[in-house]
């Protein structure tokens, strides 16, 4: 029998050889707190409204969808403008998850011969999508407390002159938001070095203590803020991400997006969800309260907790994070091991899920927690 073909046997691009696919485990356990989803199913009224809107869309499925998703972008602009900074539909672009938005940004502003820089630990997809678009990736520095060190960032930008810079606020996996002054300093340094496109991933901003960075867009055409309906809107299965930027950035993306990339069904579903924004943001308030409760409980157990503006918490430290991860899993609680030595990340679930997690952590405590100061 011939042996099965491996990926590396194929005439695949050299930079993809030996790489691993994005792989948060999708395990069927009672308490799943590993991918920062919203634990609340969509409210029944919204489910019914989606069915209505999708039925309507189905009647027109013989036609291609609105290529430029004008109605959806108008509603998203209205949603963004709620923060007090008016955002026009022409400043908004939507795609199948913010991951696709990021891919389109890299197709237009990165690519072969170009460099993207992010500050790790951060969202691993920034590096993976860079690689997938042929963009070189460089990991920039962070302080030991995981905040972005402006001086070190300035030095890295001046030295490497990246074409695209990624920031993530609140940062995944560590949870902390970046101060607007820091974003501004990085933006200025990136402009002085190249100029380059600065992308701020605000996937979790609705959970933040502070404000969105949307107010920084005015007068900064190379600044992009990405958002998603996967987290605060509790609609990870919908696949709807979007950005706000100068209208010229949106025009640039029209050059690389696939025509009709956003199906009529997706557009209809997202529009239905946006009609229920207030209910969905109500869940966000509950989750924020739960986050603060879980953070306090973890600290009371003697664990280190990174201050969180998101719907997850980075906690530690463990002598062996992998062993701690397994001990929790044995008790039916799935959290995330991002490979950051000593640390684990837990998504905030329902009150009952969080209680199950905290009860499980107490047992880990005994086995593996160790002072590392």
Ligand X SMILES: *Cc1c(COP(=O)(O)O)cnc(C)c1O
Which residues bind to ligand X, rule: CB under 6 A?
A: 36, 97-99, 123, 168, 172, 201, 203, 228, 230-231, 236, 241
3-state secondary structure (DSSP) of residue 235:
coil
CB-wise, 121 or 316, nearer to ligand X?
A: 121
CB of 227 to ligand X, least distance (A): 8
Q: CB under 8 Å to 150, separation ≥6 — which residues? A: 182, 185, 186
Q: Residue 310 in contact with residue 170, Cβ under 8 Å?
A: yes
Q: CB under 8 Å to 7, separation ≥6 — which residues? A: 16, 17
The CB-nearest residue to ligand X is 97
Question: What is 37-69 written as a DSSP string?
Answer: --SSPPPHHHHHHHHHHHHHHHTTTTSPP-TT-
Query: How many CB atoms sit inside 10 A of residue 90's CB?
Result: 15
CB-wise, 32 or 231, nearer to ligand X?
A: 231
CB-wise, 226 or 368, nearer to ligand X?
A: 226
CB-wise, 194 or 345, nearer to ligand X?
A: 345
CB of 282 to ligand X, least distance (A): 21
CB-wise, 81 or 338, nearer to ligand X?
A: 338
CB of 243 to ligand X, least distance (A): 11
Query: How many CB atoms sit inside 10 A of residue 242's CB?
Result: 24
CB of 239 to ligand X, least distance (A): 7
CB of 348 to ligand X, least distance (A): 13
CB of 223 to ligand X, least distance (A): 17
CB-wise, 136 or 203, nearer to ligand X?
A: 203
Q: CB under 8 Å to 181, separation ≥6 — which residues? A: none
CB of 90 to ligand X, least distance (A): 21
Query: How many CB atoms sit inside 10 A of residue 318's CB?
Result: 25
- How far apart are alpha carbons 178 and 199 in whole angstroms? 13
CB-wise, 73 or 231, nearer to ligand X?
A: 231
């Amino acid at each position: 029998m011939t042996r099965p073909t491996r990926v590396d046997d194929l005439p695949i691009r050299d930079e993809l050889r030996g790489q691993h696919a994005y792989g948060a485990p999708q395990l069927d356990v009672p308490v799943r707190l590993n991918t920062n989803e919203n634990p609340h199913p969509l409210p029944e009224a919204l489910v019914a409204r989606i069915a209505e809107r999708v039925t309507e869309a189905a009647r027109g499925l013989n036609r291609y969808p609105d290529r430029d998703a004008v109605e959806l972008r108008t509603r998203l602009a209205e949603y963004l403008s709620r923060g007090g900074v008016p955002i026009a539909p022409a400043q908004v672009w939507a795609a199948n998850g913010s991951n696709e938005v990021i891919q389109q940004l890299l197709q237009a502003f990165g690519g072969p011969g170009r460099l993207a820089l992010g500050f790790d630990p951060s969202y691993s997809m920034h590096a993976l999508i860079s690689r997938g678009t042929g963009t070189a990736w460089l990991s920039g520095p962070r302080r030991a407390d995981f905040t972005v060190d402006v001086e070190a960032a300035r030095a890295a930008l001046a030295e490497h002159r990246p074409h695209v810079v990624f920031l993530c606020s609140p940062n995944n996996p560590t949870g902390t938001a970046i101060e607007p002054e820091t974003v501004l300093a990085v933006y200025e340094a990136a402009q002085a070095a190249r100029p380059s496109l600065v992308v701020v991933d605000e996937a979790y901003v609705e959970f933040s203590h502070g404000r969105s960075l949307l107010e920084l867009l005015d007068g900064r055409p190379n600044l992009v803020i990405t958002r998603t309906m996967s987290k605060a809107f509790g609609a990870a299965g919908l696949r709807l991400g979007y950005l706000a930027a100068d209208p010229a950035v949106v025009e640039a993306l029209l050059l690389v997006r696939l025509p009709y990339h956003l199906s009529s069904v997706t557009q209809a579903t997202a529009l239905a969800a946006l009609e229920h924004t207030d209910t969905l943001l109500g869940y966000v308030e509950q989750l924020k309260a739960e986050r603060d409760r879980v953070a306090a409980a973890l600290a009371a157990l003697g664990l280190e907790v990174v201050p969180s503006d998101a719907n997850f918490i980075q906690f530690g430290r463990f002598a062996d994070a992998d062993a701690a991860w397994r001990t929790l899993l044995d008790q039916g609680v799935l959290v995330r091991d991002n490979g950051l030595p000593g640390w684990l990340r837990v998504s905030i679930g329902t009150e009952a899920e969080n209680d199950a997690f905290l009860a499980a952590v107490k047992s880990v405590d005994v086995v593996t927690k160790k002072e590392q100061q």
